[in-house]
A and B are shown apart, each in its own frame.
Chain A
Amino acid sequence: MHGYANPARFLKIARWFTMPLLVGGLLVTAAALVWGWTTAPPDRLMGDSVKILFVHLPAAWLGMGGWTAIAIASLVELVWRHPLAAISARAVAVPGAVFAFLCLASGSIWGRPTWGTWWVWDGRLTSMLVLLFLYLGYMALTNALAREGSSSRIAAIFGLVGAINVPIINRSVVWWNSLHQPPSITMGNSAIDPIYLYPLLASVLGFSLLFGGVVFARMRAILADAQAEARLRRKAQKAELAQATAGEA
C-alpha cells in the first residue's frame, strides 16, 4: 500500500484512471437512465413517479458509501499515517455531499405525489439530512485546515465519529416506525420487480463509476494545489532570503 504513497507514482495511475471512469460513468449512467425511463412501466400505486427510483437509490447509496470511505480513509490516516489517506478522504467529501443532496432532493420531489408531503421528520429523512450537514461541516473543516496548513488529524477524527450516522441511516426504517418504507433490497433479496431492478443496478454502476472518476480528479487537483503552494512558498522564501542578504550588504 505504501508503494503508492509517493504522489508521483499515484498520479501516474490516477491520470490513467480519471478519464475512463468519468466518460464510462457518464455513458453507463445515461444508458441506464434512458433504459429505465423508457422501458419501466408505471408502478401499481405510484405510477410514473417510480422512475425517480433510478436516481434516488444510487444517490442514497453513494451518499452513505462516501462517508464509509471517509471513515476508512480516516482510520488509515490515523493508524498507518498513509500520506494519501487524508487527500482521498477530502476528495470523497464533495461528491458524497452532492449525492446526499441529490438523494434528499429527489426523495422530496418523490414524497410530494406519493406520501402527500415534501418532508417529514421521520428517522430516515432526518438522519439523511444529518449526513448532508456532516458532509458540509467536514468540507468546511478540511478546507480550513488545508488553508492554515494544519494537521488533518482533527478531520480524520471527525470522519470516524461521523461514521456512526451511517448505520443509523441504514437501520432507521427498521428500528423506528417511519414514513419511509423499509429497505427493498437486502442481502440477496429484492422486493423490486426485475423490470425496475436491472436498470436500477445499471444506474448504480454508472453513478459509482462517476463517483470514482470525480474522486480521482479531486485527488489530482488537491495534490496539484499542494505542489503549487509548496513551489510558491519556496519562491517566497528565496525572495526573502535575497532581500535579507541585499539589506546586509
Chain B
Amino acid sequence: MTDSATKGLKPKHQRLVLLSLALVALIGAGLLAAWALRNQASYFYLPSEIIAEAPAPDQGVRLGGMVEMGSIEEQPDGTTIRFIVEDGTAKVPVSFTGIAPALFVEGSGVVAEGKMSADGVFVADNLLAKHDENYMPKELDGMTQEQVRKQVEATLE
C-alpha cells in the first residue's frame, strides 16, 4: 500500500483494513484447503463410490452406508454375519466375523473396515455403528421407523 492510499486513514482504520484483508486471505486459504481435502478427508466410501472405483484387492478401505432392511443373515458357523450395505443407488454385500457393536441394526448406519474380495463381497474385519442425528425415546420407535430410515438415508447423500 502506498503512502497516498493510506494517508487519509486513521491508524486504527488502517489496521482494520489490513486485518480484514488478512482475514479474507486466511479464510480463503482455509476453504481452499478444505476443498482440496474433500475426498481425502472422508472417513469412508459409499457403496456407489466403491463400485465405481474398486479399490485394489489388498487395500484396506472403509465402506459406509445403511444396513439394508432384512439383509442380516447369520452364517452356520455362528460368528459370521452377512449383510448388504446400501446408499440408495448401489448395494455391496458384506461379510463380517466377530462381535458387532450394539447399535448395529438393520436400517441404521454402519462403517465397515476391511477389503474388497475378488467376488465382490466386502470382507470386514471391524464394524462401527454410525448413529444418525435423531434422538428419540423408544416409545416413538415403532411408528416412525420408516420416517427415521428415510432421514438417515438423506444424511448419507
Contact = CB atoms under 8 A, between A and B. Distances in A.
B15 A175 contact: no
Contact of A45 (B44, B46, B103): B103
B135 A191 contact: yes
Interface string B23-52: 100110110001001100111111000000
A138 interface: no
A177 B137 contact: no
A41 B138 contact: yes
Contact of A175 (B38, B101, B134): B38
Contact of B43 (A113, A122, A161): A122
A81 B22 CA distance: 17
B43 A120 contact: yes
Given A160-B26, A164-B27, A164-B30, A43 B129 contact: no
A183 B131 CA distance: 12
A196 B135 contact: yes
B127 to A, nearest CB: 6
Given A43-B135, A116-B100, 8 more contacts: A44-B141, A116-B103, A160-B19, A176-B43, A179-B130, A191-B134, A193-B140, A195-B137
Q: How large is the interface on A (under 10, 10 to 19, 20 to 34, 35 or more residues)?
A: 35 or more
A53 B111 CA distance: 22
Interface residues of B, number: 46
Q: Chain B interface mostly helix, strand, loop or mixed? A: mixed
Interface in A102-150: 113-117, 120-123
Contact of B19 (A41, A79, A123): A79
Nearest to B39: A176
A44 B133 contact: no
Interface in B32-89: 34, 37-38, 41-46, 64
Contact of A115 (B45, B128, B134): B128
Contacts of A160: 19, 22-23, 26
Nearest to A167: B30
Given A80-B12, A115-B128, A115-B129, A184 B103 contact: no
A212 to B, nearest CB: 26
Given A44-B137, A79-B15, A178 B43 contact: yes
A5 interface: no
Interface of B: 12, 15-16, 19, 22-23, 26-27, 29-30, 34, 37-38, 41-46, 64, 100-105, 108, 111, 126-141, 151, 155
26 contacts: A43-B135, A44-B141, A45-B105, A47-B102, A114-B101, A114-B102, A114-B103, A114-B129, A115-B129, A120-B128, A123-B43, A160-B22, A164-B30, A172-B41, A177-B42, A177-B44, A182-B155, A184-B134, A184-B135, A191-B132, A191-B133, A191-B151, A192-B134, A193-B135, A193-B136, A193-B137
A50 interface: yes
A230 interface: no
Nearest to A42: B138
A34 B132 CA distance: 25
B151 to A, nearest CB: 7
A101 to B, nearest CB: 22
Nearest to A186: B133
B116 to A, nearest CB: 17
Given A43-B138, A79-B12, A182 B133 contact: yes
B137 A181 contact: no
A13 interface: no
A14 interface: no
Contact of A46 (B44, B131, B155): B131
A75 interface: yes
